[in-house]
Structure formats: structure tokens, C-alpha cells
Amino acid sequence: MYEREIEVFKALSNETRLKILKWLKEPEKNFPPQGLHIPEGDSFDHSVCVGSIQEKAGISQSVASHYLDILQKAGLLESARYGKWTYYRRNEANIKKFAEMMQKDL
Amino acid sequence: MYEREIEVFKALSNETRLKILKWLKEPEKNFPPQGLHIPEGDSFDHSVCVGSIQEKAGISQSVASHYLDILQKAGLLESARYGKWTYYRRNEANIKKFAEMMQKDL
DNA sequence: TTGACATATCTAGAATTATAGATATAATAG
DNA sequence: CTATTATATCTATAATTCTAGATATGTCAA
């Protein structure tokens, strides 16, 4: 019981991961210009590549990749790959669902 | 930054603690009758003593005490002592504040 | 006061999570 | 194909959290 909820709480229980999630609310403000590698027409909007997130967070490459995986598995982020680059962005639908669940059931 | 938020997420990242918090939404339904030790007039309503929570959760006494302390320090519970008994209940004001913060800032 | 009970705190080992570095994979350029 | 770059996964150690058992504290009853 509550496995999914707890997975989300655990994902949010780390300052770096929480910061990443909040930075991604305003990628344009918090990261260098993105999407250079995303083809026209297939815009995975407001997404940021792993390297930019790693740099901003000041963590190693393997930790960045791992943290983003944790956030994605918890349903807080989603990703798309373009060439060598993996872009991540917030999964706003899931985040909203989760926040609403908190209001109702916490 | 985010220390308080993270303290709450950590407190919620454990199934037993999460269950305790939810059981305390309906103490009358989930626990034996309480308040036998609370004097008339000074009713700390909808509160449950440590022993009842420990029993329901199926955990040791020291873990029960510790978990309740974690939930209280995170601001999710509040307590009052009557004689030998410590009663805990939800801190609804803080829980509401937290849930609203999630909606706005997560 | 003494003894019994409810709860809190301490202590130590087990389990989980964090983290860096090494290696693997996948894509691109040449 | 080979070299390079971006990211993912693996491995091992450090740090944190979990948990039970032992001990301490506070309260009541005799």
C-alpha cells in the first residue's frame, strides 16, 4: 500500500533533486538555451539536456543521470532522446495529480 | 534551502509513518476509544496515545515513539501529555499549509 | 518510598541511499 | 571503421535511515 506515493516522497527527499524539479519550471531562466539538437516540428518543449542540469547542479555525470532517472520513475519528469542527447522536462500532468492527491488524502 | 520541505518529505517516505498519519484522520474508526486519561474540559480532541498506535502499526515501542517524534518534528503531528500518556493528533493547520505549498510551488 | 507502567532516549547492527569513478552503450563526425 | 561526445549503468565505499533491545525518565498507586 502507498508504494507509488512513497516513491514520489523519496524522490523529493533530496535537495538536489528538488532543486532540479523547481529549476525545470523555468528552463529559459535557469539553463542555457536548449533544443539545439531537437529537430524542427518535433519540439519537446521546455526540456533541458542532462549536461546542462549536471553543470547547474554541480554534481557528477553519473549522479545526474541517476537522479533524473529517479525523478522520472517517480513520474515527476519525462524524457526524450534526440541523437546523443537526452532531454528532460517536468511531467506537469503527473505533478498536478500528485499535488491534488496531497490536498485530498494527506 | 528547502530544509523544512525535505524534512516533511522524509517523514512521509516511510509506509508505517504514512499509515499512522492517515489513520489519525479518523481516530474513532481506527483506534480503540481514547481520552480515558484526559481530564474533562481539557480535551485534546481526536488524539490517540502511543500505545494504541504502536499496537495498530505492529511495531516496537521504541520505533513507535521515534516515528511519532519524526512526524511531530516535521510539523505533521502535535502532542500533549496527560499523566503517563502522551496523546498525538494531526496538526491539520500545518498539513493544510504544506499541501497548499505543494500545489503552488512543486 | 517502592514498584509498575507509559513513553522517551540511547546504542549498535542491518538496510537503504548517496556518490564518485570506471565501464558500457549509442549516436555522430570524419 | 575509428574517435569523440553524451548519457546510462555498474561497482564499491561513505553516509544516512531503520529497527530492536536496553536503559532512562516521568507518573501513578500502594
A40 close contact with B: CB closer than 8 A: no
Q: How far is A94 from chain B (nearest CA, A)?
A: 11
pLDDT surpassing 90 at residue A38: no
* pLDDT one-digit tens code per residue, B59-99: 999 999 999 999 999 999 999 999 899 999 999 999 999 99
Return residues with beta carbons within 7 A of strand D. Answer: A 49-51, 54, 61-62, 64-66, 68-69, 79, 84-87; B 10, 13-14, 16, 59-63, 66, 70, 81, 83-84
- B81 forms beta bridges with B86
Question: Is the distance from CB of A41 to CB of A79 less than 8 angstroms?
Answer: no
Nearest nucleotide (CA of B51 to C1'): C6
Share of chain A above pLDDT 90, in %: 84
> Are B18 and A10 an interchain contact pair (Cβ–Cβ within 8 Å)?
no
In DSSP notation, chain B reads: --HHHHHHHHHHSSHHHHHHHHHTTSHHHHSS---TTSPTT---TT-EEHHHHHHHHT--HHHHHHHHHHHHHTTSEEEEEETTEEEEEE-HHHHHHHHHHHHHH-
In this predicted structure, what is the pLDDT of residue B1? 87
What global pTM score does this model have? 0.92
Residue with cell 528538488: A18
- A86 forms beta bridges with A81
pLDDT surpassing 80 at residue A15: yes
In this predicted structure, what is the pLDDT of residue A22? 97
> Are B15 and A1 an interchain contact pair (Cβ–Cβ within 8 Å)?
yes
Nearest Cα neighbor of A89 from A100, A97, A78 is: A78
What contacts A47, CB < 8 A, 6 or more positions away? A27, A34, A35, A38, A79, A80, A87, A88, A89
CA of A42 to C1' of C14 (A): 49
B16 touches strand C (CB under 7 A): no
How many A-B residue pairs are in contact by the CB < 8 A criterion? 61
> Are A13 and B9 an interchain contact pair (Cβ–Cβ within 8 Å)?
yes
In this predicted structure, what is the pLDDT of residue B44? 85
What contacts A20, CB < 8 A, 6 or more positions away? A53, A57, A67, A68, A71
pLDDT band at residue A41 using 50, 70 and 90 as cut-offs: low
What contacts B74, CB < 8 A, 6 or more positions away? B7, B8, B10, B11, B12
Question: If you average pLDDT over every residue of chain B, what do you get?
Answer: 92
Mean pLDDT of A10-18: 97
CB-nearest to A6 from B1, B2, B13 is B13
Mapping DSSP to helix (H, G, I), strand (E, B) and coil, where does residue A34 land? coil
- A41 forms beta bridges with none
Alpha carbon B102 to chain centroid, angstroms: 20
